[in-house]
Structure 1
C-alpha cells in the first residue's frame, strides 16, 4: 500500500492506506485509494465529489467495501460489452440453441438499445426499474422507430391516435427482466460487480390460466376421428404420455422398443436459426423413459406399417432420418406444419379453439383424476418440478368441490 503524505481537512496527516483527497482546479474534490479489484490485486481507484464532504464519504465507502472483501471492477465494462461476453461464453456454452436464440433477441432488441451504453459497475436498481417501466409503456411503433414514433416520440404517453397500441405482454416483460438478472448474476459470481441490481427490482409474474384440456369423452372422440389420419399414433402418444410437440416430432424408431413396451425421450425437434435440429429435451427431467400401454403399442405398430408403405411409394425421394413422425419424404417435419393435420381433426371432433399443447394438459388432468400419484404423473410427462404438476394442473373442478361439500354436509347432518 502506497504511503500518503497528504493531510486531511483538519491538518492531521492521513495514515498509510487511508487514501487521498485534494481539490481540483474546477472546484471539485477528487479522491483516490488503493482497493481490492476483481482480479484479486490492489489497484489505485480515483473518483470525484461535489465538495470535500461528498468526496470523503465516497472515499470511506470505497475503503469500507474493500475491507469487507467487496472488490471493484477491474475492467470498465459497459452493460452492452458484458452482455456480449455473457452470451458468447456462458449462454452459448451452457444453454440449448433455442434458449440462446431467445436470449440473443432480447439483448439485441431491448437491453442493448436502452442500457448498453451504461457502465456496468454504475448500473443502479433505479436504472433497471425505469427501463422496465419504459418497455411496459412503449408501443410497437416506438420500439421499432417508425415514422409515427419519430414524429410523436412519446406517443404512448400522450395516447396519440398515431399510437399503434401494441405493447409487450406481461410474460415478455418478465422474460426481459430475467435475462438481465441472469446476466448480472453471472457477473456477480465472476466478481465483475459486487451485487446484482436487477434482482433488487421486483417484476410481478403474469397471471394466466392453463387449459385443463379435454375431458374423457372429448379425448375418445378425437381418437375416433383421427383413426384414418397418418398421424393417428402421434395423437395417441400425446394423449396417453403427454409428450410435447417437439418431443413427438424428434422421436426416432431407435428410441422405441415395442417388444419391451417402452419409449425414451432423448431429443426434441426445434427450428433454430432457420434449421430444423434435434436438440436435448427442455429440462433435465424431460429426458425420460416411459412405459408404453397397449393402446400406444398397437397404434405405433400400425403407424410403422403405414410408414413403410409411404417409403415404398416415395422411392428415391425418401430421405431416411429414422424419425417416427417425419414428412411424407422422411425428412423432419416442420413443427408448425402439424397444424395441417390438427386443425381439421379438432373441427371434426367439435374441439375448435383447442391447441395441440392442450393434449398434454389432457394427459396430466386425466391421470390426476384417476388418482395417479402426482410424483408418478410428473415423471411420465417430464415436468421439471412437482410444483408445476400440483399448482397448475391439480385444480379441483366445481363438481369435485360440490361432491366434497355434499359429503361434509351429509356427515354434519
Structure 2
C-alpha cells in the first residue's frame, strides 16, 4: 500500500513523493509525518547525480583552490582508489549514514593492491601477479592503515558538507558518523642522549646543519628542504619558514607551508647559527669546485651540484645516519616530535613550543607531539616525597 504527497527538494523543485506501508494506518502516519516536515521547511534530497560525478566536480571546481597541492593529490588518490569504486554508482541524494558507514568499513577491508590497481599494473608490465589477480586468488591482506581511513572519512565528510552548502542534499550523512578505530600509535622520542649521538654522527656530514635545525627547531622535512638563504638572517640569527619542497605528480614542487600558523619566524640557537654559517662557507666551496655545472637554486640545502634534494633521498640519508649513530630507525618527521618533547622536558611552556612548531593550537602540540617521558614523570611525582618524611 502507498500514498503520495507534494514535497520540496533541496535544489528547489516541487515533486510528488511516495511512501509505503503494510496497512493504511501506517501509510497515513508516514504521509502525515512527511507533510509536517514539508510545512516545517524540511526539504528532501533532490540531487540525482552520482557520487562519482559529484566527486569529480568537487575536486575540480570546489576544493582545488582551497587546499594545498599535496592535500589535493591525496584527495584525488582517495577518490580514485576508494570512493569511485566502492561508492561511485550511488545517487548523491540517496546517501544515508548507514551507507557511508558501510562504505568506510568496506574500504578498511579492501587490500591496497586491489584498491590501487597494483596487480593490474604488474600484469601490464609483464610481471607476475602477487594478489587477487593470481589464480587461484590469494589476497595479500595489506589493508589500508587507520590513518588512511581517517583521511577518507574527513574527505567524504568535507565533500558532503559542500554538497549541503550547494543545496544538492538537505543534510550531511557523514557529519555525525563515528567509527571504531585504534588510537594513534605512541612514538618514543629521542632522548637527550640519543639526540647528542645523532648530532655527533652527523658532525662530519655535509648536511649537518640540516639535521641541527630540524632537531632544534622541529622543522618539517619539506620546510627544511625548501629553505632559501633569503629566508635566513645570519646577522640577527632568525629563520623565516615560508615555503616547502615536495614531490607532486612526478616532479619537485615548491609550495606554501601547511597553514597560516606554519609560516613563522624562529630565533636560531647559537649552535644552529654557527652550523648554518659554516654550511654557507662549505656550499660556496662546492660551488667553486663544480664551476659552470653548479645550478644556483638559492636553496640552503642542496645536492653537490646545487639542485634541490629529493625528499626520499633525504629519508635514505637519514636512515644511514641513524645506523651509523647506532640508533633505532625512525622517520625524519619524528625529529619534530623529539624536538617538542625535549623542549617540554627543559621546561619550555606548551604555548612557546606551539609557536616554534607552527601549530594552530597548543592542544595539537600537547596531544600529538609532546610525549611525557618516564624520567619526566618520576621527577614530577618525586616532588611529593616530602609526604613520606618521618
**Structure 2 length-normalised TM:** 0.88
Query: Which stretch shifts more, 297-306 or 141-150?
Result: 141-150
Against the structure 1 CA distance between its residues 141 and 241, is the aligned structure 2 distance closer, same or farther, given a 3 Å change threshold?
A: closer
Distance 2:134 2:34 in 1: 45
Structure 1 equivalent of residue 124 of structure 2: none
1:233 alignment partner, one of 209, 232, 240: 209
1:133 alignment partner, one of 98, 105, 119: 105
Once the two structures are superposed, the pairs formed by residues 26-175 of structure 1 within 5 Å of their partners are 29=2, 31-33=4-6, 35-39=7-11, 41-47=12-18, 49=20, 53=24, 56=28, 59-140=31-112, 143=115, 144=117, 149=132, 162-175=138-151
Distance 1:300 1:323 in 2: 12
1:330 alignment partner, one of 306, 323, 341: 306
Question: Does residue 345 in structure 1 map to residue 316 in structure 2?
Answer: no
Against the structure 1 CA distance between its residues 109 and 58, is the aligned structure 2 distance closer, same or farther, given a 3 Å change threshold?
A: farther
CA RMSD in angstroms, aligned pairs only? 2.6
Number of equivalent positions? 377
Deviations 1:172-195 (A, max 9, x none): 222222211111111122221111
Distance 1:140 1:291 in 2: 43
Deviations 1:233-292 (A, max 9, x none): 101101111101100000111111111211111101111111111111112211111111
Distance 2:170 2:351 in 1: 40
Structure 2 equivalent of residue 293 of structure 1: 269
Deviations 1:329-370 (A, max 9, x none): 222211011134323322221113133222212211111111
Decide whether the 8 Å contact of 2:107 with 2:149 is kept in 1. yes
Deviations 1:139-174 (A, max 9, x none): 34554587864799xxxxxxx982322212222222
- Aligned to 2:328, the other structure's residue is in SS state coil
Distance 1:327 1:150 in 2: 41
1:396 alignment partner, one of 358, 361, 372: 372
Decide whether the 8 Å contact of 1:256 with 1:263 is kept in 2. yes
Query: Which stretch shifts more, 71-80 or 175-184?
Result: 71-80
Distance 1:166 1:209 in 2: 18
Distance 1:44 1:402 in 2: 68
1:226 CA displacement = 1.4
- Aligned to 1:286, the other structure's residue is in SS state coil
- Aligned to 1:376, the other structure's residue is in SS state helix
Decide whether the 8 Å contact of 1:266 with 1:280 is kept in 2. yes
Which protein shows a greater Rg? 1
Decide whether the 8 Å contact of 1:121 with 1:193 is kept in 2. yes
Decide whether the 8 Å contact of 1:261 with 1:297 is kept in 2. yes
Deviations 1:198-255 (A, max 9, x none): 2233113432334342222222222222122111110110111110110000011111
Structure 2 equivalent of residue 23 of structure 1: none
- Aligned to 1:93, the other structure's residue is in SS state coil
Q: Please, which runs of 5 or more residues in structure 1 have no aligned partner?
A: 1-27, 153-159
Distance 1:175 1:340 in 2: 26
**Structure 1 length-normalised TM:** 0.83
Query: Which stretch shifts more, 176-185 or 368-377?
Result: 176-185
Decide whether the 8 Å contact of 1:247 with 1:267 is kept in 2. yes
Distance 1:151 1:309 in 2: 55
Decide whether the 8 Å contact of 1:174 with 1:204 is kept in 2. no
